[in-house]
């Protein structure tokens, strides 16, 4: 059997652009593991190699059950770096997305992932590539464990943002990630909402497959409501509309706030009682994250980026009602210390300021000139047009044939 270090290597369970993940076994501890190995063709690239090792070190910093832990790191005989993680024997949320899942359970699992994302944020790190496939599941004695994985494009909020590369999966990527806007934890809040929507419907919230699709999308068209279809309270549509807004100010201002809302909605949906969240304790001991686990004197979001200064906003102690009394967001979610200056206290009229750049100029700016060309829109005609053209051509052919026969005879 092939080995990497002391680990026995089994089947390949995942392949990415830069690395491959194998199922393995630690023969000493007699436990299954996941081994992530940098691709041979990238191992000699110092930038990619350093990024790969940085991911392992970053995962190692966190001590929370919601983030996949790294147990070992090393180099293969072929000089390919690798690191060893917990094995997710229950797959990922991507498998659940492809099959019917009770809506309450889907929201519970996403809320648990959001609590893991909150740990990253309190260490001043944003994930930037939250997708159903990067949220892993593992069976345990306490039930299903949700684990956040793949921090390959994660970014520290303490580092300068100038020159930050565009990264992420377009279908789950916030608008500002593609346009070079200021990035903070709210890009991950958007992605979490997109994951929840995809679990509830089987597909992402918007028909976006490429970066170009994201750049040219008409954001005046909101997400399709789903509450009636699922038999959910109307507040679910309100939550999705705000969390999936292109304007970060309209979204929940922390992953923990989104988790709280999802849990509250899951309480009244089928499947909400089939999953119990892990213990609430969060590791917030990292440097620069000394505020209390559930709020404190420091807001979890930076000052608003548009729509007026913080002084001009109404810093209310209770959220404005968005549904009749006894229903909806306002009645389900109490205000928390961390929501000061968040979407609870912002007006509903703020909008995104249009950019004066074309999609091609944006792509040239962030990917390099000439690296990607926006496809010219193609005019699409209805099927009836082509049927009429076909009938017309056939008639002309038959007429020409009849005239030819008469002329020859």
Q: Does 247 qualify as catalytic in the annotation? A: no
CA distance 355 to 365: 13
Out of 129, 184, 188, 247, the active site residue is 129
Tell me the binding residues. Answer: 36
- Choose among 69, 71, 191, 175: nearest CA to 126: 191
Q: SS3 of 401, please?
A: helix
- Residue 245's nearest CA partner among 121, 318, 349, 151 is 349
Task: Note whether 38 and 81 are within 8 A (CB).
Answer: yes
- Per DSSP, the three-state class of 375 is coil
Grouping H, G, I as helix, E, B as strand and the rest as coil, residue 135 is strand
Could you tell me the sign of the dihedral formed by the alpha carbons of 31, 36, 39, 42, in that order?
negative
Residue pointed to by tokens 């309450």: 104
How many CA atoms does the CB half-sphere of 37 hold within 13 Å?
A: 24
Q: Which residues are annotated as a binding site for ATP?
A: 36
Inter-residue contact 359 to 215 (CB < 8 Å): yes
Distance (Å, whole) CA 190 – CA 206: 12
Cβ 333 vs Cβ 342: under 8 Å: no
Please identify which residue in the block is written with the tokens 């962030």: 366
- Side-chain half-sphere exposure of 165, counting CA atoms within 13 A: 8
Cβ proximity of 249 and 349 under 8 Å: no
Q: What are phi and psi of 96, to 5 degrees?
A: -70, -35
Cα 259 from Cα 189, distance rounded (Å): 10
SS3 272: coil
Just list the catalytic residues.
129
């Amino acid at each position: 059997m092939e080995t990497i270090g002391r680990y026995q290597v089994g089947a390949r369970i995942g392949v990415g652009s830069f690395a491959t993940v194998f199922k393995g076994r630690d023969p000493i501890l007699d436990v299954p593991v996941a081994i992530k190995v940098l691709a041979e063709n990238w191992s000699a690239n110092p930038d990619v190699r350093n990024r790969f090792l940085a991911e392992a070190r970053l995962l190692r910093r966190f001590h929370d059950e919601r983030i996949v832990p790294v147990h070992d790191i090393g180099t293969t005989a072929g000089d390919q770096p690798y690191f060893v993680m917990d094995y997710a024997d229950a797959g990922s949320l991507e498998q659940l997305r492809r099959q019917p899942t009770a809506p309450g359970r889907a929201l519970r699992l996403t809320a648990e992932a959001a609590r893991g994302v909150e740990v990253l944020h309190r260490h001043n790190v944003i994930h930037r590539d939250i997708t159903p496939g990067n949220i892993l599941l593992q069976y345990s004695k306490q039930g299903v464990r949700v684990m956040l994985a793949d921090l390959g494009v994660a970014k520290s909020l303490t580092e300068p943002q100038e020159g930050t590369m565009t990264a992420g999966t377009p279908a789950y990527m916030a608008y500002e990630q593609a346009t070079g806007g200021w990035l903070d934890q709210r890009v991950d809040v958007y992605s979490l909402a997109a994951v929840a929507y995809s679990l509830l419907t089987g597909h992402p919230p918007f028909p976006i497959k490429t970066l170009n699709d994201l750049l040219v999308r008409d954001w005046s068209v909101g997400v399709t409501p789903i509450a009636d279809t699922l038999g959910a309270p109307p507040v679910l549509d309100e939550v999705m509309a705000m969390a999936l807004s292109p304007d970060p100010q309209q979204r929940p201002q922390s992953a923990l706030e989104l988790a709280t809302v999802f849990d509250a909605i899951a309480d009244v949906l089928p499947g909400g009682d089939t999953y119990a969240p892990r213990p609430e304790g969060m590791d917030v001991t990292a440097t620069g994250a000394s505020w209390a686990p559930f709020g404190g004197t420091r807001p979890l979001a930076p000052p608003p980026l548009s729509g007026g200064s913080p002084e001009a906003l109404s810093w209310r102690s209770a959220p404005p009602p968005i549904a009749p009394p006894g229903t909806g967001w306002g009645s389900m979610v109490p205000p928390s210390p961390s929501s000061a200056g968040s979407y609870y206290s912002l007006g509903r009229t703020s909008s995104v300021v249009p950019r004066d750049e074309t999609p091609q100029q944006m792509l040239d700016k962030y990917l390099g000139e000439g690296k990607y060309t926006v496809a010219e829109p193609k005019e699409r005609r209805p099927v009836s047009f082509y049927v009429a053209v076909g009938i017309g051509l056939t008639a002309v052919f038959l007429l020409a044939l009849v005239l030819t026969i008469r002329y020859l005879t």
